[in-house]
Structure 1
Amino acid sequence: MPTWTPWKTIPLATPFTEQTLAETLNGGQAFRWNYLETKSCWQGIWGQHVARIRFSDKGGIEVSTPSSHPETEPSLASYLRADFDWAAAMDKLPWRSDSHLQKALQAYPGLRILKQPFPEAVLCFLCSATKQIPQIKVMCERMAENLGTEILPGIHALPTWEQLAAASEEQLRSLGLGFRAKNIKKTADLLASHPELLSQIEASPYSEAKPMLVSLPGVGEKIADCALLFGAAKLEAFPVDTWIIKVLEKRYALFGWSPSQLSQFGRVHYGPLAGFAQQFIFSYERQHPA
């Protein structure tokens, strides 16, 4: 069995609350975090890393990582964007003129946007079409177990796009991906031929990155915005799903608007941190539906 480092406090420019730690890790940004009841902590996997996180009584978070992977702790700080001043970012949002946003911000102090590996974010959100969070987590776990590299005994990374390209569509379907298998396989084959493409997209400005990403098989506007927001740190991306449509209809009276129009509204109304605002109203709506 692997040994884990002693629990250690990780410094954060903006602290979590216990609620917002759970919402950040398990609220639809990422799909490989699970709460371990027996150990009273969260365990998550990204890239070739595994870590455990728990909320401390002092208001911070503590982490434990495999002793054999000393590089995991600094990677986790980057993944959590620990140095970013999320409180200052919250204050830049238009809460002073938007009472609903103000309520959402007050309900989730410390909520943040993760910085996941971009290729993984693209894969996970390709799995998200017509699925809810628990179902997406199952699909990701099956792909990892069957196609990904083992990090620790019994714990596997998500497959790389190269590993996915080596699999057949039938293999992917056997993992419960359904119609998504076809698009994942097509995208994997395309990326195998153009291995630099995702890096180019991630490095591009949002206005250029989104059309490039949407050109991949199965990647629509919502999937692209999710991947760009949660995997490429493009905080102006404003994903529009059924929850956001409900919010903008009920709270902002934007009835009959198309998803692309609502996405444009979000970027204009909330400004350059629109995706950050989106996460608050998304989280708030799921807990406080109108």
Structure 2
Amino acid sequence: MNYRNIIENDNSIIIEGVKDFNIKQILECGQCFRWERISDKNYIVVAYRRVIEVVQDGDNVIIYNTNLNDFNEIWKNYFDLDTDYSVLKGELAKDETLRKSVEFGYGIRILNQDPFEMLISFIVSARNSIPAIMKTIKKMSEKWGDELSYKGNTYYAFPTPEQFKGATLDEIKETGASFRSKYIFDTISKVNDAIEAKNNGTLTEELRIFDLEYIKSLPTDECHIALQNFMGVGAKVADCIMLFSMEKKSAFPVDVWVKRAMIHFYVAPDVSLNKIRVFGRDKFGELSGLAQQYLFYYARENNIKL
């Protein structure tokens, strides 16, 4: 447990004595797209059909617009607060090369997010910038998601598969999804087909590979293969979905920043993305995903170039 105490106030929770937690680093390390920065220590977050405001004051974190039940049912796991990151960081910092990245991103935690939201979000992420990804996901949420209110402002939950069901290809294109629209359209259809068959007791092996609960239950390598049955999901996107929503902490997504960091710190410039992925998993083992986050954040924030 990475905190000392929880206090419930009127419509808020105070997490006292929280360790290894920096809200800026957590939200801005590329794993999450539903946030709005008020300041470096104050963010609006939309997740699990809720809107919260997170304010960090030293080792105390206040979550507004929530209660103790939601903290225990949602936010404790969302922020991975039952995991002792000091132990994990200590293991990773044994690698002298990685230690600098671990110290730089000291407050990063792996968020446990919704698998369907991550599936769509990381399909959107392909060859895309974070601001553009956030804009597209926001448009999708505004068009098909439920309205949420906080402090007189309106936010929108990410749509469920069922809410997305009536979306046309043209409507998806209008959100800015571009060439990825056909992948998203097909994915929505596949996920809904699996949900309907499961609810009706008619889930076949052919449809089972699109059941996200089943995919999440698979061992890491099988999960990685299964996710790539969705259009627009390659090795990197599958790793992101696994790491940020399916509790597969040994996943090692390789994007341009991780590639730069791995080449800069560890490997020769001519290796492929897949070889970097395999190298990273072999080197960091069950902590590969966390190592990847430290490397990504360090490389991007310090603008490492090849």
**TM norm. shorter chain > 0.5:** yes
Partner of 1:110: 107
Cα deviation, residue 73, structure 1: 2.6
Alignment of 1:89-168 (within 5 A): 89-93=88-92, 95-96=93-94, 98-152=95-149, 154-168=154-168
Query: Could you tell me whether the CA contact under 8 Å between 2:29 and 2:293 is conserved in 1?
Result: no
Counterpart pick for 2:31 among 29, 32, 43: 29
Partner of 1:177: 177
Return 5+ residue gaps in structure 1 as ranges. Answer: none
Cα deviation, residue 278, structure 1: 0.5
1:45-97 deviation line (CA, Å, top 9, x unaligned) = 1121111111114x22111115xx7743331111001111111111222x32x
Query: Could you tell me whether the CA contact under 8 Å between 2:145 and 2:158 is conserved in 1?
Result: yes
Return closer, same or farther for 1:286/1:217 CA change in 2, 3 Å cut-off. same
Return closer, same or farther for 1:183/1:12 CA change in 2, 3 Å cut-off. farther
1:133-181 deviation line (CA, Å, top 9, x unaligned) = 1111111110000111123362211111222231000010111111111
1:175-232 deviation line (CA, Å, top 9, x unaligned) = 1111111100001111111126101111111111110001111111111100100111
Cα deviation, residue 7, structure 1: 4.6
Alignment of 1:177-216 (within 5 A): 177-195=177-195, 197-216=211-230
Residues in 2 aligned to 1:103 and 1:279: alpha-carbon distance in whole angstroms: 13
Partner of 1:77: 76
Query: Could you tell me whether the CA contact under 8 Å between 1:164 and 1:185 is conserved in 2?
Result: no
Residues in 1 aligned to 2:231 and 2:116: alpha-carbon distance in whole angstroms: 14
Residues in 1 aligned to 2:23 and 2:155: alpha-carbon distance in whole angstroms: 22
Give the count of matched residue pairs: 278
Partner of 1:267: 281
Query: Could you tell me whether the CA contact under 8 Å between 1:118 and 1:232 is conserved in 2?
Result: yes
| Counterpart amino acid of residue 54 in structure 2 | I
1:20-63 deviation line (CA, Å, top 9, x unaligned) = 320211221100011125x9721101121111111114x22111
Q: Name the SS of the counterpart of 2:177 in structure 1.
A: coil
Partner of 2:19: 14
Residues in 2 aligned to 1:12 and 1:115: alpha-carbon distance in whole angstroms: 21
Query: Could you tell me whether the CA contact under 8 Å between 1:87 and 1:110 is conserved in 2?
Result: no
1:102-155 deviation line (CA, Å, top 9, x unaligned) = 111111223110011111111111110111111111111100001111233622
Cα deviation, residue 254, structure 1: 2.6
| Counterpart amino acid of residue 53 in structure 1 | V
RMSD, aligned CA: 2.0
- Is 2:248 the partner of 1:249? no
Counterpart pick for 2:250 among 220, 223, 236: 236
- Is 2:91 the partner of 1:88? no
Query: Could you tell me whether the CA contact under 8 Å between 1:169 and 1:185 is conserved in 2?
Result: yes
Q: Name the SS of the counterpart of 1:166 in structure 2.
A: coil
| Counterpart amino acid of residue 15 in structure 2 | I
Cα deviation, residue 242, structure 1: 0.6
Residues in 1 aligned to 2:258 and 2:86: alpha-carbon distance in whole angstroms: 23
Counterpart pick for 1:222 among 236, 249, 254: 236
Percent identity over the alignment?
28
Residues in 2 aligned to 1:40 and 1:269: alpha-carbon distance in whole angstroms: 33
| TM-score normalised by length of structure 1 | 0.90
Alignment of 1:274-285 (within 5 A): 274-285=288-299
| Counterpart amino acid of residue 261 in structure 2 | V
- Is 2:302 the partner of 1:288? yes
- Is 2:69 the partner of 1:55? no
Return closer, same or farther for 1:7/1:164 CA change in 2, 3 Å cut-off. closer
Residues in 2 aligned to 1:7 and 1:159: alpha-carbon distance in whole angstroms: 25
Q: Name the SS of the counterpart of 1:176 in structure 2.
A: helix
